[in-house]
Structure 1
Amino acid sequence: MKGTPLAEQMRIVLAGDRNSGKSSLMNNIFGREISIVAERPGTTTDPVTKSFELGALGAVAFSDTAGLDDDEHGIGELRRRRTEEVLQEGHVLLFVTPGDRPLSASEKALLEKARVRDRPLVVVYTFADRSPDLSKADALRGMPSVAVNNLSGSGVNDLRKLLLSVAEEIEPEISPVEGLVHEGDLVLLVTPIDLAAPRGRLILPQVETIRDLLDRDCGALVVKERELFSFYRALSVRPKVVICDSQVFSKVAADIPEDQPLTSFSILFGRKKGDLVTYIRGLRALSDVPPGARILVLESCSHHRQADDIGTVKIPRLFKQLVRMDAEFSFARDLPPEGELGKYFMVITCAGCMATRLKIVHRLNVLRRLGVHAINYGLFLAWANGLLPRALEPFPYEHSVFLEPAEDFRPCPGKRNGIQSVLADGA
């Protein structure tokens, strides 16, 4: 892996009305044509995202979006919805607005949403060669701002400097093993190599975990599940934790001592990208799934699905075997409209390794507001294999939440490695 993954880069989103100069600004920031520029309104129809090395910040992802006021024959609504999705991922909003015009209704609506989200916002006044509209300048007074002339490129360097200062306000995502290890620890990683694994590469969560361990001066021993038994017994140093692919939970648990701390990459990234407590609360709902419940399996990336795909095959099969045979499953890579989403009883979501934490947290907030339960792949598979609370033991707070008393919570009927799963309410 040569570059920082998009999901780990600070995301800067350009938003504004059609023909406000967003695409020209994007091109000026990069010093080359990234977005198509034309006098016809609505040239940018789908978000365009590119990475740029921004000084001390390193790789930063800029996203150009469709106009907020796009109303073209019904398609505009779809474009605005896609823009809204990208805005949810953004760490910084570049509000691109023509400096010579008063605020439009769509611009005012964007500013109100930005205020509620409480994320850094930078105002970019375009058409700086024209006389400024005083009412707009007065309305936006006090906000970090810069004036840019997209024809000459003046002001772009000032914008870059301003972004560097604004970035200090952004709280970075935690790293995969943050708080789990100390310098000198050995961590054993179990990484199956199957048909779904990219040829010549490891999957992203595995790569990021290895890099994080090396950055923390830890040792990382990487094995496949078939070699785990012999390698583990050859070790003279006990691993601080064993981290495995959730799909081999049962095999790994059987091959290591019962008191060896164990978790999965999916649970690591469920903590990094989302909220383990929310997923723990979702587990309790497994004891109360109604007949014919609709379950949505939600992924965050596109991948070639194999015959025994985890999201479309394995999880639905386990759910039907252990929870309700008559559950109805659907599959998506983005949240459906809220009117449709509210019809689901539960969402089982992937680890989110290809998405920003902001995007996953937004999804969870929407689900919480609609009363839809959420579970992470890794926690569901740990439950299905009878490995809870063991798989949460490396995370003291989440483990304690899991162990809080529950009035009525059905454990998984399975029993693995002598450990009976006793599920507790995380509410």
Structure 2
Amino acid sequence: MKKNLFVGIVTAISALSLFVGQSAQADQTIYRLYNKQNGEHLYTTDKNEKDVLFTQHGWGYEGEAWYAPDPGQGSPVYRLYNAGLQNHLYTTDTNEVKVLTSKHGWTLDNNGQPVFYSGGGAKIYRVYNQALRGLHHWTTDENEYSVLPRHGWQQEGVKLYGNRVGVPIQTQYYQHSPVASQPTPPSQSTGSAQTSQPAQGNNQLPSTIPSGSATIANTESNHTIEADVALTGSGTGYHAKLVMAAPDAAVSFGLQFDTAAVAPYTGKTAFLIENIGSNNTGGQSYHRANALASLNTTYRLMLTLQKDGSYVGYVNGTEVVRGRNAVLAGRSDIYLRVEGAARKTGDSITAHFSAIKLKQHGIYSERRWPATPQFNIANGIITKIDDVQVRSTASDTRTINNNVVFTGTLTGLPQHADWDTAGYYDKVSGLVQFIY
């Protein structure tokens, strides 16, 4: 439902235009990198850009993809970026550039100048995956192009050309290695956990995440929520989340069981980020850790947000997912909440939060925080603070000493509606908002 120059991966991505196209070679090498956090491949002619992303920001280097014509020889290739989707797109189609930048929230990298050129006899194929935030992928490998449709990708044909194919690379499909259906956590080399990917064809995800050392006290951020979180319920869907919200945008992280989730998370409990750029249809995107959670199990969850809108989700001190919400960048009207919700009428939930710690505007203080339940509605889900039921009024604002619990069976939604149905986003939850 509804990061110095490089502070983090997404900031590094957004700053790529600082590196692109600063040197011209007579047969430009196109380097290919892979980001396990969001499933994206990146293509660049800039060796420095490649080295920085590979050595400092957790990107995997996959070799020299192809060799492009000399600058000015062939068709210019433009690179676009969508902060909400965390995707890059490469295209020679100026009309596509115009439509995407004027109507769909994309921006041009490299100050609108070509990042490299297309031409020659080597074919470069493009594929598309709607389930992975609309990711596109480019490859010279005909075998990779033929295998990807088995994993949810759609073939789009030859979109670019190169002078010649690059040095053979080991893709994530090399020797039948597993295919991730969702972004995976950063590698161990970044100081975060590396979890195994599902074996090809069996869609099994790990159910454990190694413990890490990240806490609200030692992790730099502008805003942070940290809490012990447990979830139980019944029915088609329910969740327990840490939330950072402005009036028009939000990011949340927590535990979610959902029978309507994409495979391999269908009918399972995931560590889920919901990135809300707006409340309009299509304004939400979802990112799941490459591991499953368990119901009726307590996890130490933490959500951090930087001033530039970059966010990170942690489980038991280990980073598992990150991204960026550009709408939240530089905002002073961000409020911290905890929330429990059910998917449809008749679904039941118990979401338990304890040992809650908060950081606001870069300031962390070990104290107990007051919270208000005044934004709740009568929907069958009741709110308890320190085991006492509270009403949905400002007068029931109180300091949380021990815990917050949301429990009950959702009522009030028509049978066709669920938590993703427009007009009902705000009718499926119990929440408390913290007061500073």
TM-score (norm 2): 0.28
Rg comparison, structure with higher value: 1
More helix as a share of residues:
1
